[in-house]
Each structure stands twice: as structure tokens, then as C-alpha cells.
Amino acid sequence: MTRLLPPLLLSAVLLIGWEFACRLLHVPPWFLPPPSAVATALIERAPLLAASAGATFWMALQALALATLLGGGLALAVSLSRPAEQAVRPLAVALQVTPVVAIAPLVMIWAGLDHADRAVVALAATVAFFPLFSGVLTGLKSADPDLERLFDLYSASPVQRLVRLRLPAALPFVLEGLRVAAGLAVIGAVVAEFVSGSGSTQGLAWRLLEAGNRLRTADMLAALACLMVMGLLLNAVVGLLERAARRRLS
């Protein structure tokens, strides 16, 4: 609890300062509404925002699952052969350094223009792929070399080696990758929604665009607050998982 107090206190101070600044300086609400107006927007639009947050969260979650499956699976396959790793790694890095905004229009075409949600999931998964691939691959190779030799000495089968040595050694790296990927999946989903520019996804990004086009700044900030909370929650959940795993494994 004492760990939560300083950030909460700072947030409160910032919000109060913001409120007073807006009132004293007569800032027009279309430019910067005070926190009280944002809070009102949050309450008034709660059902719509909750539905949109749910949509974005669901897309990010699907993307995370997809990235875990593909990134983890590929890393596992590649870890068994050095040439395979050498072949795949540069491609994975190329995928990582390509801006998601730049490939979004392509993915839109491939996913089908009337399936914007699929394109959003695919794009978010693309962004979340690399930390998982890299985390699993690094983790699988992180076992103590002397322990690897011990498994050689006792003629362990590849499956025994994977299950008894490499997977447990990889787990902290996998969870760290998952934590980074979870944040990226949300970012990827929002960016992809922006680029898709269609209301068919009905996520938080769409709420942002919609409010922005109508100059309803308080609504924009309310949607932004929802996104922030979602990111924090996701981070906290994966962080808890990570700590639990570390306690079990070390």
C-alpha cells in the first residue's frame, strides 16, 4: 500500500493543478477541458466507453494469443537448429523494425476491407510477435552450460532436455517477453484501428477519432484515460504472473 501512495499522491496533485489552471486561466474547453469535465464525460459515456474498451481489449488479447502461439512456436522450432535460427532471426528483426503504420494498409487489403477487426488483430499480433519470439529463443538458450553438459552426460533425449531443463530455464524470459508484448499489443490495436479508419471495429481508437472530429476534447480525454487504465491493468496482471513464476522457479 505504501508503494502505491506516492504515485497516487502525485496524480492527485497534478489533477488538482490542472483543474485550477483551467478555471483560473479560462482555457476554452475545446482546447483543454478540466479534469472535472473529463470525469463527467467518463460517467455520461460509460456504457459506450466500456463497450469500446471491451472491443479493443478483446482484439489486443486475441493478438497477444496469436503472437504467443506464432512467436513462441517459431522460437521453439528454431531453437532446435542453429542454421534455422540464423535464417529466421534477420527476418524477425526486419519485421520488428518495420513501422506498423506502414504495413497497415497492406494488411487491410489482405484481411479484406470489410474485416477491419481481423486486420487490427493481425497488425497488433505483428507488433507483439518480436518480444515473444526473442524472449522464448533467448530463454531456451539461457540454461547453465554445465547443466546442458550434465544432460549430455546422462544421455537425455531432446524431449527430456526441453521439458526438464530448457523450458523451466526459459520461463522468466518468456514472461518478460509477454509483459512487453502485452503493452505492444494494445498499442498495435489502437494504431491499426486508427489506420483502418472505419467504424466497424468500434474500439477505443474509434471513439478517439470520432470525438476528435467533433472537437469534443473531454470525450477524447475520457477515451484516452480508459486506454491508460487498460494498459496499466494488463501490465499488472502479467507482472503478477511473472512474480509468481519467479517465486516458483528460483
Task: Show the binding pattern over residues 159-188: x = contacts other proteins (CB under 8 A), - = does not.
Answer: -x---xx--x--x-----------------
Could you tell me the smallest distance in angstroms from the CB atom of residue 3 to other proteins?
24
Count of chain residues binding other proteins (CB under 8 A): 19
Could you tell me the smallest distance in angstroms from the CB atom of residue 77 to other proteins?
24
40-48, 119-127, 128-136, 144-152 -> range binding other proteins (CB under 8 A): 144-152
Could you tell me the smallest distance in angstroms from the CB atom of residue 164 to other proteins?
7
Could you tell me the smallest distance in angstroms from the CB atom of residue 143 to other proteins?
9
When binding is defined by CB under 8 A, the residue of 152, 199, 212, 233 that contacts other proteins is 152
Q: How many CB atoms lie within 10 A of CB 208?
A: 22
155 binds other proteins (CB under 8 A): yes
- Residue 33 or residue 135: which is nearer to other proteins going by CB? 135
Q: How many CB atoms lie within 10 A of CB 174?
A: 22
Could you tell me the smallest distance in angstroms from the CB atom of residue 1 to other proteins?
28
- DSSP line for the chain: -TTTHHHHHHHHHHHHHHHHHHHHHT--TTT---HHHHHHHHHHTHHHHHHHHHHHHHHHHHHHHHHIIIIIHHHHHHHT-HHHHHHHHHHHHHHHHS-HHHHHHHHHHHH-TT-HHHHHHHHHHHHHHHHHHHHHHHHHT-S-HHHHHHHHHTT--HHHHIIIIIHHHHHHHHHHHHHHHHHHHHHHHHHHHHHH--TTS--HHHHHHHHHHTT-HHHHHHHHHHHHHHHHHHHHHHHHHHHHHHHHH-
When binding is defined by CB under 8 A, the residue of 18, 58, 151, 194 that contacts other proteins is 151
- Residue 44 or residue 152: which is nearer to other proteins going by CB? 152
153 binds other proteins (CB under 8 A): yes
- Residue 137 or residue 170: which is nearer to other proteins going by CB? 170
Site for other proteins, rule CB under 8 A:
144, 146-147, 149-156, 160, 164-165, 168, 171, 248-250
